[in-house]
Chain A
Amino acid sequence: MKKLLIALMTTAAGVSLAANAEAADKLKACWVYVGPIGDFGYSYQHDQGRLEAQKELGDKIETAYLENVAEGPDADRAFERLARENCKMIFGTSFGFMDSMVKVAKKFPKVMFEHATGYKTADNLGVYNARFYEGRYVMGQIAAKVSKKGVAGYIVSFPIPEVVMGIDAFMLGAQSVNPNFKLKIVWVNSWFDPGKEADAAKALFDQGADIITQHTDSTAALQVAEERGLHGFGQSSDMIKFAPKAQLTANTDNWGPYYVKRIKEALDGTWKPDNVWLGIKDGAVELSPFTNMPDDVKAMAEATKKKIADGWNPFTGPVAKQDGSAWLKDGEVADDATLLGLNFYVKGIDDKLPQ
């Protein structure tokens, strides 16, 4: 008990000292995450970006974050809290934060807001996004090469354009290698639910898929692939530690450079709301090292990655919609507006898009 008391008192002294030493003129940058930073996926990657910004800009900034924030009224409060706690720049990282951010941004015109994956902007609200579909096209090609049965399983969260885009790009990549490639889809209606994700992965493998990919945030599906001796892809973050034999590559979000750039602009007073969509070329989408695959597949993946980095768009015609009608003519490239509102499958996908 005595020891504990001493510990209590020394920590008390330590904290008060630290509080006094804190400088007041630092720029405070804050983040709101939809999941826990320990998801080792989407929210984890955003937090890595925050840490990179903190490291890069050192004592010029201080950072804070709120994790596991539910979309809706809780998000309103989270943004309001950060704005009131002197955050000068606030990043919201989930699509569902959009209306909360619009509301709070209006109320705090001097605070700079940045919203990932949304589409509403304002005088102090910019949006940023990554072309995750570029990585998914490469993954589709790898899947078609590595799969013995020609069937992949795809675990998905919500039928929003972001997700549909990923499914379509994956399928187009797979079809470019094997025109008869099959894709089985399971909707789990959650961004982060390891239990459900694992169940979905098991069901898909039982139904004959031998490759798994997912647009959900946990490592669960990949771990099931590892147990079964099959293959899969990491999502958002390099998950090789969780599946050293199963992961082929991971579609990794790399937000650090963007965060550093925007905070620097804020420090210089040159920040303006923008609408950016970054891809492989900008380093925002990275494919983690190609592993557990033959050399020729590796070479093909590298080549496709380079082609995309050089400006080629995976959504280049000819592409037909699921019902067989034409979407993109030969050589025609889908424009960004269409992609950002994408709500239909391409030909060959055997699933009905929840409408």
Chain B
Amino acid sequence: MRLELVKRPQRSALFSALSPFIAFVLTMIAGGIMFALLGINPFTAFNTYFVSPISEVWQLHELTIKAAPLILIAVGLAVCYRANIWNIGAEGQFILGGIAGSIIPVMFPTFESPIVLPLCLLLGMVGGALYAAIPALLKTRFNTNEILTSLMLVYVAQLFLDWMVRGPWRDPQGHGFPQTVLFNNSATLPELFPDSGRANWGFVFALVAAVAVWLLMSKMLKGFEVRVLGSSPRAGRFAGFSFNRMVFFAFMLSGALAGLAGISEVTGAINQLQPTISPGYGFTAIIVAFLGRLNPLGIVAAGLVLALTYLGGEAAQTALGISDKVARVFQGMLLFFVLGCDTLIHYRIRLVGLGAPKPDAVPAPKLEEAH
């Protein structure tokens, strides 16, 4: 006996809409069993996980801080993935955006002016976009696999940042520690409501980007072009669309958004460059993009949910005394059920008996002839 996934001829609209909720209920059941086995009241656990992080104002602020970079990056990635281009290197584009955007505050630390911050953000976007143009160039020129090139450029970016903060950009007054000078006030992304929490403009950027990309993909010709070339390059060519131009467009758009996320994080939350500026946002955003089903508005919801599980995981550590690992397992369950339910919309499971002959098995004699 084995299981086989068979593509459904058509997907059910009802279950497409219900699937996130079914996944949520399944997570609750499986998670509840896990918490019960650990001797923790499942209802207390769920309350800590999903309700406590959004029941206080300061935590809502933290939620937006955690969600903003995930949404910004994932929205850009969604464009790439819709175009069937596999940009795995958003983490690198995020870092390069952070570095490029830091040029002014690090090299001219005393330069204060209202134009500093917009320039930083712009440079961050340019940095991310140019870095993403490298795998685009390699793909269109040499037909290299963009999964490999974009992924490997992540490590290049990480080591480049590491070298910069230890070498040319190290704070001379920093006791030899690997970090740049602290940015001055005009290079700091302002907080939205400083009285109640730390949330900054990064979240606004994320929302604006999500709406803009949604408009682009569903209402504009460029979005149509991306989708057509993504699902059928041949058909796209007949329509007069250029595949190469689209590769650059998708890569550079997602690179610019990742770069903006990077410089927002640097100017908003960290305020200087350090050897690491991202706890893996560029990779987590890939999950967010798929959780949001590559729809920019879905991605906003998915980013908030994923951020919520991080916050809930921390709350569970302190309130219930459970390990960081349990929190991760719970997060994994949620992703597993969401992706599992989505898969079952498109496919159904068929049980295949071991003894049954395979319908497409090649008869042995034919193979002999081939020798």
Binding site for B on A (CB under 8 A): 4, 7-8, 11-12, 14-16, 30, 36-38, 64-68, 70-74, 76-78, 80-82, 84-85, 95-96, 99, 119, 158-161, 189, 340-343, 354-355
In the complex, A95 Cα to B274 Cα: how many Å? 12
Cβ of B32: which chain A residues have Cβ within 8 Å of it? 8
In the complex, A342 Cα to B170 Cα: how many Å? 15
Residues B40 and A15 in contact, CB atoms below 8 Å apart:
yes
Q: At the interface with chain A, which of B142-150, B175-183, B240-248?
A: B175-183
In the complex, A71 Cα to B175 Cα: how many Å? 18
In the complex, A70 Cα to B166 Cα: how many Å? 20
Cβ of A340: which chain B residues have Cβ within 8 Å of it? 175
Closest to A67 in B: B324
Interface residues of B in 12-31 (CB under 8 A from A): none
In the complex, A12 Cα to B42 Cα: how many Å? 8
Not counting A81-B318, A85-B318, A355-B167, a sample of 15 additional A-B residue pairs whose C-beta atoms are within 8 angstroms of each other reads: A12-B41, A36-B324, A65-B317, A66-B314, A66-B318, A67-B317, A71-B274, A72-B274, A73-B66, A81-B315, A82-B318, A96-B274, A158-B178, A161-B175, A189-B162
Q: Which of A36, A64, A73, A354 contacts B325 (CB 8 A)?
A: A36
**Count of chain B residues near A, Cβ 8 A:** 43
Whole-angstrom distance from the CB of B105 to the nearest CB of chain A? 16
Whole-angstrom distance from the CB of B92 to the nearest CB of chain A? 16
In the complex, A343 Cα to B177 Cα: how many Å? 9
Cβ of B271: which chain A residues have Cβ within 8 Å of it? 99
- B198 near A: Cβ within 8 Å? yes
Q: Which of A14, A82, A99, A189 contacts B39 (CB 8 A)?
A: A14
Residues B279 and A343 in contact, CB atoms below 8 Å apart:
no
Residues A4 and B33 in contact, CB atoms below 8 Å apart:
yes
Cβ of B323: which chain A residues have Cβ within 8 Å of it? 37, 67
- B36 near A: Cβ within 8 Å? yes
In the complex, A189 Cα to B323 Cα: how many Å? 26
- B114 near A: Cβ within 8 Å? no
Residues A72 and B279 in contact, CB atoms below 8 Å apart:
yes
Cβ of A119: which chain B residues have Cβ within 8 Å of it? 175
Binding site for A on B (CB under 8 A): 32-33, 36-37, 39-44, 56, 58, 62, 65-66, 162, 166-167, 170, 175-178, 198, 265, 269-271, 274-277, 279, 311, 314-315, 317-319, 321, 323-325
Q: Which 4 A-B residue pairings sit nearest by Cβ, starting from the closest?
A: A343-B176, A73-B269, A70-B279, A15-B41
Residues B269 and A159 in contact, CB atoms below 8 Å apart:
no
Residues B65 and A73 in contact, CB atoms below 8 Å apart:
yes
Q: 25 A–B contact pairs at CB < 8 A?
A: A7-B36, A8-B32, A11-B36, A11-B41, A12-B41, A12-B44, A14-B41, A36-B325, A37-B323, A65-B318, A67-B323, A71-B274, A72-B279, A77-B65, A77-B66, A95-B177, A158-B275, A159-B166, A159-B178, A160-B176, A161-B176, A189-B275, A341-B175, A341-B176, A343-B176
Closest to A66 in B: B317
In the complex, A8 Cα to B37 Cα: how many Å? 8
Whole-angstrom distance from the CB of B167 to the nearest CB of chain A? 6
In the complex, A38 Cα to B324 Cα: how many Å? 10
Residues B314 and A81 in contact, CB atoms below 8 Å apart:
yes
Closest to A13 in B: B41
Whole-angstrom distance from the CB of B143 to the nearest CB of chain A? 33
In the complex, A27 Cα to B108 Cα: how many Å? 47
Cβ of A36: which chain B residues have Cβ within 8 Å of it? 324-325
Closest to A341 in B: B175
Cβ of A78: which chain B residues have Cβ within 8 Å of it? 314
In the complex, A66 Cα to B271 Cα: how many Å? 24
Cβ of B314: which chain A residues have Cβ within 8 Å of it? 66, 77-78, 81
Q: Which of A7, A15, A76, A81 contacts B269 (CB 8 A)?
A: A76
Cβ of B275: which chain A residues have Cβ within 8 Å of it? 158, 189
Residues B58 and A80 in contact, CB atoms below 8 Å apart:
yes
In the complex, A81 Cα to B317 Cα: how many Å? 11
Residues B276 and A64 in contact, CB atoms below 8 Å apart:
no
In the complex, A95 Cα to B177 Cα: how many Å? 10
Cβ of B42: which chain A residues have Cβ within 8 Å of it? 8, 12
**Which of A72, A77, A341, A343 has the most chain B CB within a 10 Å cutoff?**
A77
In the complex, A7 Cα to B44 Cα: how many Å? 15
Given contacts A36-B325, A81-B318, contact A160 B276 (CB under 8 A): no
In the complex, A28 Cα to B107 Cα: how many Å? 44
